[in-house]
Amino acid sequence: MNEYNYNFEEVGGGYYNSEENPSPKKPKKHTGLKIAASLVAMTLVSAGSIGVYRTVTEGRNADTAAESSRISAEKEEAAVNKEVSSVEKETSAVESMTMLHVEDNNGEVLTTEEVVQKVMPSVVGIKSEFEIPQQNNYNYGNGFGGFGGFGDFFGFGDEFGYGYGDGSQIQQENPVGTGTGVIISEDGYIVTNAHVIYDSQNGLGLAVEIEVLAGDDTHTAEVIGYDVDCDLAVLKIEAEGLTAAEFGDSDKLNLGEDVTAIGNPLGLDLMNTVTKGIVSGLNRNVTINDKSMSLIQTDTAINEGNSGGPLINKYGQVIGINSSKMSSSGFGEASVEGICFAIPSNKVSDVVEDFMAYGYIKGKPQLGISCRDVTEDISEMYDMPLGVYVIEVTEGSAAEKAGLKKSDIITAVDGVKVKTATELTAQKNLHTAGDEIELTFMRNGEEMTVKLTLDETEAPVQETPTETN
């Protein structure tokens, strides 16, 4: 256990965490749902060969300088992508927001066939290519097996090989993920899950190329906005005359109500697969990758590749965006069936409007720190209090203005104890930018308190190997 030497950047294989932007972490025991047992785990339902990268990089220390360079490049690219280039684009955004306004759930009840006929033209396939950071001390094999296997989450084939190299040129293919999207405007705006286009589990970040398959046509997509906390993204393709989906009011859903899903399970080979079920639960508080969300539960079959696709009510309205499911957490454990989740349409509508208008979620609070959990093991080993260890304070941030410093350990927010970055984020997210909060922290063995005014996040949240707040 000599890896813990107060240099928290090196704890856990070279990654450290922050409240807003969780990073690749070592597998850990967790409950997924707050109410779930260790029997099951939450998985995001995107498909592809991204998992191959995770397999070959377990236990590898990140190159901090290279990572910083990559993150900076991504930020620049995201900033360019979100720029409003003309008045025409601004007008289009307003029209698209109008298209996404939810309608009353009191229309004509449709048969399943009619529901599918109405919504199918609005469903697209999404293919995202991610770039593997160059590493000089690894030499990977050439082959990615693709997706499509059952059992493994990403289902890659046996031809993939890897090993420690001798410093020679890396031979590798960029991993690819697939998902689903929903057209929200006739001129090419599309909503999907953020994890379809942004990989945080492996630290690959924003996809370098995104393609959308709409009907028989394939288009290159632009990222308008995305947020990993709410797991939503808006893309734009250059197309006209598309069929925009009608969105319903998710607040008017009833338990037991019939719902239908359309998506691309296990990849685009099974594109436009239709499954049917009921609303199994409402306002479920679910934790996925350390992010807490309030979701619709359904027993509608949702599989890898369905991410970003529509959950549809009996009126042919989209009332949710499918995002995740419960699954077995280990070999030999009982299987888990029919526990899937979707982001409510009312939440989607609010987020999309902000993406269209600003490129990010307006009013989202930010502290301005990078941090790391002080676990029980670390606490006992170094006689440190349980809490959130501050690794870095962003210059000019709310945290710096309030006097927070590197190595402070945050233990409470507004009197509520916090032991992890996730708990810190949850307390912070009860507020909006401009609110004042009180932080309790330890510095050199002394407990201190400070009040600070939360900043607003002014750019799409960048999920990196650091957790930033």
Strands (E), 93-245: 123-129, 138-140, 162-164, 176-183, 189-192, 198-199, 205-206, 209-214, 217-220, 222-227, 232-236
Instruction: Please report, for residues 42, 102, 140, 308, 345, the alpha-carbon distance to residue 93 in angstroms, rounded to integers and kept in the order given.
Output: 34, 16, 43, 20, 18
H and E: helices and strands count for the chain: 9, 28
Catalytic, 227? Answer no
Instruction: Please report, for residues 241, 458, 467, the alpha-carbon distance to residue 462 in angstroms, rounded to integers and kept in the order given.
Output: 33, 11, 10
Terminal-to-terminal C-alpha distance of the chain: 28
Instruction: Please report, for residues 58, 198, 440, the alpha-carbon distance to residue 404 in angstroms, rounded to integers and kept in the order given.
Output: 33, 31, 10
Among residues 229, 231, 373, 455, which one is catalytic? 231
Among residues 185, 195, 349, 370, which one is catalytic? 195
Q: Give me 60's structure tokens.
A: 């590898």
Q: Give me 168's structure tokens.
A: 């020679």
Nearest of 152, 151, 191 to residue 354 by alpha carbon: 191
Catalytic, 101? Answer no
User: In this structure, is the dihedral angle defined by the CA atoms of residues 297, 303, 307 and 308, taken in order, positive or negative?
Assistant: negative
Among residues 307, 324, 327, 345, which one is catalytic? 307
CB of 217 closer than 8 Å to CB of 227: no
Catalytic, 414? Answer no
Catalytic residues: 195, 231, 307
